[in-house]
Amino acid sequence: MQYRAGEEEQQAQSKKALKKQQKEAEKAAKKAEKQAKLAAEQQEADEDDFAKDRYGICPMVQSQQKLDRALVRVQDLTPEKAEQQIWVRARIHTSRAKGKQCFLVLRHQQFTVQALLAVGDRASKQMVKFAANLTKESIIDVEAVVKKVEQKIESCSQQDVELHVERIFVISQSEARLPLQLEDAVRPEGEGDEEGRATVNQDTRLDNRVIDLRTTTSQAIFRLQSGVCQLFRDTLINKGFVEIQTPKIISAASEGGANVFTVSYFKTSAYLAQSPQLYKQMCICADFDKVFCVGPVFRAEDSNTHRHLTEFVGLDIEMAFNYHYHEVIDSITDTMVQIFKGLRDRFQTEIQMVNKQYPSEPFKFLEPTLRLEYKEAVAMLKAAGVEMGDEEDLSTPNEKLLGRLVKDKYDTDFYVLDKYPLAVRPFYTMPDPNNPKYSNSYDMFMRGEEILSGAQRVHDAQLLTERAMHHGIDLEKIKAYIDSFRYGAPPHAGGGIGLERVTMLYLGLHNVRQTSMFPRDPKRLTP
C-alpha cells in the first residue's frame, strides 16, 4: 500500500512539477520576448535620436557657470518679437501630445503662452516624447522662435504669438502627483458645481499654499494688497506723517486682558501687542504730531469667523489736531479715498482677474467721504423695522443692514459713523462735551463691515484715571501709559485698519483667509 501511495505521490509531484516547469518556460519566453522588444526599441531610439543634445534634464543649478543669456519673460512675448529666437524660463502649465506633435502651455505668474514641438528636422520623436512626459509645474528653459498666429489663442494670456521650440531643458522637476490642480483652484465655485468639475476647498488650498499662491487669482490678490500698503504709505508721507515702529512684546495688555497671547520672557512672562495704540499715543506726546505704523497685530480671540485672524497686519494712524477731532476724521477718510482711487486707476487688471473667479460689484465711494451720525443710523434702522435702544451697540447683522440702507440711499460702499455711545467704547475714548452719553468716537465701514474703530483719545491724566477706574481697570498695569500724559499732551485722535480685511472687502471676497498669505487662526499654525 505504501509503495502505491508513494507512487501516486510521485506521479502527482511529477505532474505538478511538469506544470510548474511549463509555466516557468512560458514566463521566461515572455520575458525574453519583452527584453528583445525593448532592446530593439532602445536600439531604434539610439539610432534615430539626432536631437539628443537639444533636450534633457539639466544638472541642478549650483551656480556652475555664469551664462550670459537673456531670458525673455512670458508677458513680453508679443508680435513685435516675431521670428526672433529667444530663451524663456517658465513653468509647464499643461502638456499634451498629439501624434507627432506636442503642445505645451508655458506659464509665468499670470501670463501663459502656447509652445509647439513637432517631429521634424529639428526635433526627434524621442524629444517630443520627452516633452510630453514632463510633469506639470516643472520649471524649464526653452529656446524657441516666436511665431505670429492668425487665429487668436483664446486660452492663453499671450494670444497673438506662439513658440516653436528648438531646445528644451528641465531646470527643476516637479513631482508627478500634485496635491491640487491649478485649473481647479482657479475655477469659479458655481462653474464647478454645474459642470461637475472639481474646485478646491479652502483647507486644501491653505495646506498647500505654495501651489495655491501660483494661481492667477492669488497673484492678482496679493499684488493688489501690496498696492494698498504702498498707497497707504505714499498718501500719508505726502501728508507729512512719520512712519514709526512700535514694540510687539509688551508688559501689559493694551485693549483688555482677555484676548492676548502670553510669551515666556526669561524669568517672567510678557504679552504680544494687540495694537500699537499705547505707543502711537506716546509718540504724539513726544511731539511727532502725525505718525503711522505698519506691523503685525496679535489677537487671541477664539473666533472662527470669515473675518477674524489671530495675527494680521495693522495699518495704524495717530494724529494731533488743533481744535476738533473731525480734522483727523477728514485726514483718515481722505487717505482711504486716495487708496481707493489708486486701486481703481492702477490695478484694474488685477481687479478683473480676481473678478473672473470671484465676481463682485465694483467698489463705490464718495469724495469727500459720507459721514453719518449714530443717531441717524439708529433712525434709519428703526425706519427699516429694527428694534434697538438708542445707546445700544450695533450688532453685526445690523451693521450689514445699515450698510445696505446707506448703499441704497447714497450709493457708496464706504462711510463713517460718528458719535458712538460712550458705554460701548474703550476707557481711553473722549466723552462728547455736550452729551455725556455719547463720545467722540467713530467707526468706518466698507461694504457694511467695520474696518476701522477710532476716537479722540483722552489726553488728560486725571480724566484718564477716572475713566479707567470706571471701567474697572487695574491702574498699576497702565501706570506708564497714564504717566505719558502728565507732562503736556496735545489733543489727538486716530484709528487703525487691517490690511487683509480692507483688501477682502475692496475686492468683494468673502473670507479674510483668501487675502492673508499664510493665515493664522485658532485652528491653523502652518504653513
Partner 1 sequence: MPMYKVKPVSPADIKIDLPTCMYKLPNIHAQGMNCGEHALQNGEVDPALKALEERQDEVLRRLYELKATVDGLAKTVTTPDADLDASTLSRGPAESVFRATADLDSLLGKDLGALRDIVINANPAHPPLSLLVLHALLCQRYQVLSSVHVHSSVSAVPPPLLSCLGPRHIDSYARQRFQLGFTLIWKDVSKLQMKFNTQSMYPIEGEANVARFLFRLLSAEPQDPVLATQMDCWIDTAVFQLAEGGSKERAVTLRSLNSALGRSPWLLGQEFSLADIVCACCVLRAGQTTSAPANVQRWLQSCQNLGHFDCVYPLLQ
- Which residues belong to the active site? 299, 301, 307-308, 450, 453, 501
Residue closer to partner 1 by CB (options 206, 343) is 343
Cα separation, 249 vs 482, in Å, equals: 19
Among the listed residues 347, 365, 445, 506, the single contact to partner 1 using CB under 8 A: 365
Residue 383 found at the interface with partner 1 (CB under 8 A): yes
Rule CB under 8 A: which of 111-170 touch partner 1? none
324 near partner 1, judged by CB under 8 A: yes
The helix/strand/coil state of 163 is strand
For residues 398 and 379, give the distance between their C-alpha atoms in angstroms, rounded to a whole number. 12
Q: Which residues contact 166 (CB under 8 A, 6 or more apart)?
A: 54, 85, 122, 143, 144, 145
Q: How buried is residue 337: exposed, middle or buried, by Cβ count under 10 Å (0-12/13-18/19+)?
A: middle
363 touches partner 1 by CB under 8 A:
yes
CB of 409 to partner 1, least distance (A): 5
Instruction: Please identify, using beta-carbon distances, which residue of 38 and 379 lies nearer to partner 1.
Output: 379
Give Cα 467 distance to the centre of its chain: 40
Strands 161-172 and 242-243: unpaired
CB 106 within 8 A of CB 130: no
Pick 384 or 475: Cβ nearer partner 1:
384
Smallest distance, partner 1 to C-beta of residue 388, A: 13
Residues 343-362 binding partner 1 (CB under 8 A) are: 344-345
Per CB under 8 A, does 375 bind partner 1? yes
Among 373, 391, 393, 460, binds partner 1 (CB under 8 A): 373
Q: Measured between alpha carbons, how far is 261 from 250 in angstroms, rounded to an integer?
A: 11
Q: Give the chain's end-to-end CA distance (angstroms, integer).
A: 77
Question: CB-wise, 42 or 348, nearer to partner 1?
Answer: 348
SS3 (DSSP) at 226: helix
Task: Read off the DSSP letter of residue 307.
Answer: T
Which amino acid type is present at position 454? G
Cβ 210 to partner 1, closest distance in Å?
36
Nearer to partner 1, 26 or 390 (CB): 390
Tell me which stretch binds partner 1 (CB under 8 A): 122-130, 371-379, 444-452, 500-508: 371-379
Site string for partner 1, 397-436 (x = CB under 8 A): --------x--xxxxx------------------------
Q: Which grid coordinates belong to 385?
A: 423695522
CA pseudo-torsion sign 47, 94, 138, 181: negative
* Contact call for residue 322 and partner 1 (CB under 8 A): no
* Whole-angstrom distance, CA of residue 471 vs CA of residue 64: 67
Pick one of 367, 392, 466, 483: the residue that binds partner 1 (CB under 8 A): 367
Residue 15 is a binding residue for partner 1 (CB under 8 A): no
| Cα Rg, the chain, nearest whole Å | 33
* Contacts with partner 1, residue ranges (CB under 8 A): 324, 326, 340-341, 344-345, 363-368, 370-373, 375-376, 378-380, 382-384, 405, 408-412
